[in-house]
A and B are shown apart, each in its own frame.
Chain A
Amino acid sequence: MAIWFARSRNIVSSLRHNLNLSGILVQRDHSPRHAFTNSQLSSRSVFLDSFTSLRHESTAVEKQLDLVQQSDEEDPQELNFPGGKVGYTSELKFIPESSSRRVPCYRVLDENGRIIPDSDFIPVSEKLAVRMYEHMATLQVMDHIFYEAQRQGRISFYITTVGEEAVNIASAAALAPDDVVLPQYREPGVLLWRGFTLQEFANQCFGNKADHGKGRQMPVHYGSNRHSYFTVSSPIATQLPQAAGVGYSLKMEKKNACAVTFIGDGGTSEGDFHAGLNFAAVMEAPVVFICRNNGWAISTHISEQFRSDGIVVKGQAYGIRSIRVDGNDALAIYSAVRSAREMAVKEQRPVLIEAMTYRVGHHSTSDDSTKYRAADEIQYWKMSRNPVNRFRKWVEDNGWWSEEDESKLRSDARKQLLQAIQAAEKSEKPPLTELFSDVYDVKTKNLEEQELGLKELVEKQPQDYPPGFHI
């Protein structure tokens, strides 16, 4: 029997050689004992069956196999399927639903703002560090004042970034100005870093004449071509496949830039998350996907959002390099985003960053999060895990920042913001001509007619139109 088996092996290997087949033959070479538990007759018939089926399949698979390099030393313990070779196993074993150990979180600063010994990170100069801190503090003041303005009824709506200042500012600091940013809605810090002024923010929130958005959008839907920051779009996750498209465009035009897009933990449930990441990987587009995992999607806790170990593990499913970072550690975010950006541009590939953080504020001014989460949980994160305080400690320990600098910055920012709000509030609303422009590149005839009709009406009945409503 052993001889028969050896002979059949030789026949098979010569068949392989002649018919240019390899690996499609499923033979239990590794456990010859099992082949002989049946009678010799049935073994032979099994052999004959596989022989004829080989012949039958040869013409069909040959074309495919031509793509695979042939070698006589080929390991018979691998299977050739569309997509490449895979080793096989006879053990009936499932990949577990989760790893025994969660993916660790990259961090550089401890909670007291001290650099953890032997940390791997990109050094930040005094100038850059102070600038980053100033922006984080300014963002805090801005959020506070605009939130209050909404509560006073002066603007209709606002979304704060409280608790996520490090993700916002440190990631922006790590990017190049030409990198195209497609935000979700909790990243005004990126725009602030790039030079959008407090007055410009206020103008958008008030929808006045000076608003770059011509009063077309709800508050916080900022956008600026000049700053390579795409206008915030309300539907969730649509920016992800769009970012892949922007990345593709940058790749085709061989630009030294990447697309950077933000998403929350909740947004990763959208179909567009799958499409965006899958496509970016297939197209080899230079895109950095930054997921702000802040624990809450309005009232939906992450335990109800997914059953995976967060978002970082999903990267590998798409063939995308990924990292989990402490989102409240500005230095860690800076290093991670900077490295990711370099990889994306130099290697023309997407990268995924999961920034672990916490949404200290409510989802928006239309939400009261104390209704679905404990007030002391919010307090804990606000006081003990505050990213701004943590970074401040490091900057102060280096002797780059003082108490005086702090109070000066905060009072200056506050003053500027209050002035900006006053000016924005007093400013006129956009003129009537802006109602009909930009629907198309050039106004169509029916729009021109409608505009004319409305102008005439306003002139004829001025008493029906509120003060400040002008042509």
Chain B
Amino acid sequence: MWGILRRSAVDGGGFSSSSLGKTRFALVSARSYAAGSKEMTVRDALNSAIDEEMSADPKVFVMGEEVGQYQGAYKITKGLLEKYGPERVYDTPITEAGFTGIGVGAAYAGLKPVVEFMTFNFSMQAIDHIINSAAKSNYMSAGQINVPIVFRGPNGAAAGVGAQHSQCYAAWYASVPGLKVLAPYSAEDARGLLKAAIRDPDPVVFLENELLYGESFPISEEALDSSFCLPIGKAKIEREGKDVTITTFSKMVGFALKAAEKLAEEGISAEVINLRSIRPLDRATINASVRKTSRLVTVEEGFPQHGVCAEICASVVEESFSYLDAPVERIAGADVPMPYAANLERLALPQVEDIVRAAKRACYRSK
């Protein structure tokens, strides 16, 4: 199950039992490893996080299209209307600009809204409120107006939803000072980061992924506790390695872990970093990892130009240039609006093989 690490001509290394012992990857191994460990879907993780925060603080309320009676377009807010009533789980008319503005106004006045976008593609209709009002108010008012608001919803590509429903907004929002941008992967990420986001006094953009909602992950007792919170601005090393650093976020973390498995079979030990926080970006962890491995492959689903990967590459080149043994590698979505046809869609998104190829390129290029 762990794979046998063969000696590789390139890195000259062999077995590294310490890294073996510390390696954790989400699904298969942990299930048989920890007896009686619980599992939770990302959907349930998000639901429980919102539920607990609403229970703890009466100022927290949820608003969005279909969040109440319909139990949530993706059932993330299931059961909340029954529990907290229509004043705290508010079904809005169809106007993103409208309800985002209202959420910002409510946050100005001291409430803590959790605003749901059915998909972040629709947030573009409200982006002025998010950026010009929510993100910049604390600064422009010199600390007099803070905006403790969370904007959450599915981001990036789903399956067969076409160009206007598939864009990734991580790079757009992460470029704005005043916002915090988070992207969970596992159920633990979802719980810990959403709770942290709701408690945070600054505006937070919380980028979920529709295809991850139904996926189950093992979850620790600690993560199930209602006071559990993950720090904003810290990345997580999902799998330790020593030959190449692969950084990514959201759904691509799963792909990167699969790629790491494949690379391990070929003797390349990949370190997979789950960014968790796009802004603030955990440059320290990324650079420390690259200084260890000397190679960087950065992966994202979004468009390549001016993407999150571009920022990571720049950061690594600026801070760890002399440690690099190979040019930095960027894997991103194709530079086209997302096509609908399944075969084209697959070609427009990074796949496990792309990550494997890039990592191998990075590893052999030093010759």
Contacts and interface: CB of A to CB of B under 8 A. Distances in A.
Nearest to A250: B109
Given A249-B111, A252-B111, A444-B280, A241 B142 contact: no
Interface in A217-268: 217, 221, 223-225, 230-231, 233-235, 238-250, 252-253, 259
A225 B106 contact: no
A223 B139 contact: no
Nearest to B88: A252
B17 to A, nearest CB: 34
Given A241-B99, A252-B61, A279-B99, 5 more contacts: A231-B141, A245-B101, A249-B105, A278-B93, A440-B178
Given A245-B104, A279-B93, A441-B202, A235 B128 contact: yes
Interface in B108-136: 108-111, 113, 128-129, 132-133
B233 interface: yes
Interface string B77-114: 00000000001000011010111111111111111010
Contact of B142 (A213, A239, A248, A250): A213
Contact of B233 (A245, A272, A439, A444): A444
B177 A439 contact: yes
A225 B145 contact: yes
Nearest to B144: A225
Contact of A439 (B61, B133, B138, B201): B138
Interface of B: 61, 87, 92-93, 95, 97-111, 113, 128-129, 132-133, 137-146, 177-178, 180, 200-202, 233, 280-281, 283-284
A122 B100 CA distance: 38
Nearest to B282: A445
A244 B180 CA distance: 25
B102 A242 contact: yes
A32 interface: no
Interface in A156-214: 180, 182, 211-214
Contacts of A244: 101-102, 105
A437 interface: yes
Given A216-B140, A271-B97, A440-B202, A238 B146 contact: no
A245 B106 contact: yes
Contacts of A233: 132-133, 137, 140
A275 interface: yes
A230 B97 CA distance: 19
Q: 3 closest Cβ contacts across the A-B interface?
A: A245-B105, A275-B98, A241-B101
28 contacts: A182-B105, A211-B142, A214-B142, A223-B145, A225-B144, A231-B137, A231-B144, A231-B145, A235-B128, A238-B101, A240-B101, A241-B98, A241-B100, A241-B105, A242-B133, A245-B108, A272-B98, A274-B98, A275-B97, A438-B142, A438-B143, A439-B138, A439-B177, A440-B202, A445-B233, A445-B280, A446-B280, A446-B283
A216 B178 CA distance: 14
Nearest to A437: B143
Nearest to A248: B106
Contacts of B97: 241, 271-272, 275
Contacts of A279: 92-93, 95, 98-99, 102
A133 B298 CA distance: 66
Contact of A238 (B92, B99, B128): B128
A315 interface: no
B144 A275 contact: no
Contacts of B111: 248-249, 252
B140 A245 contact: no
Contacts of B104: 242, 245
A282 interface: yes
A63 B107 CA distance: 39
Contacts of B106: 245-246, 248-249
Contact of A440 (B140, B180, B283): B180
A278 B138 contact: no
A121 B55 CA distance: 48
B276 to A, nearest CB: 14
A327 interface: no
Contacts of B128: 235, 238
Interface in A441-471: 441, 444-446
A245 B202 contact: no
B233 A242 contact: no
Contact of A180 (B109, B113, B140, B178): B109
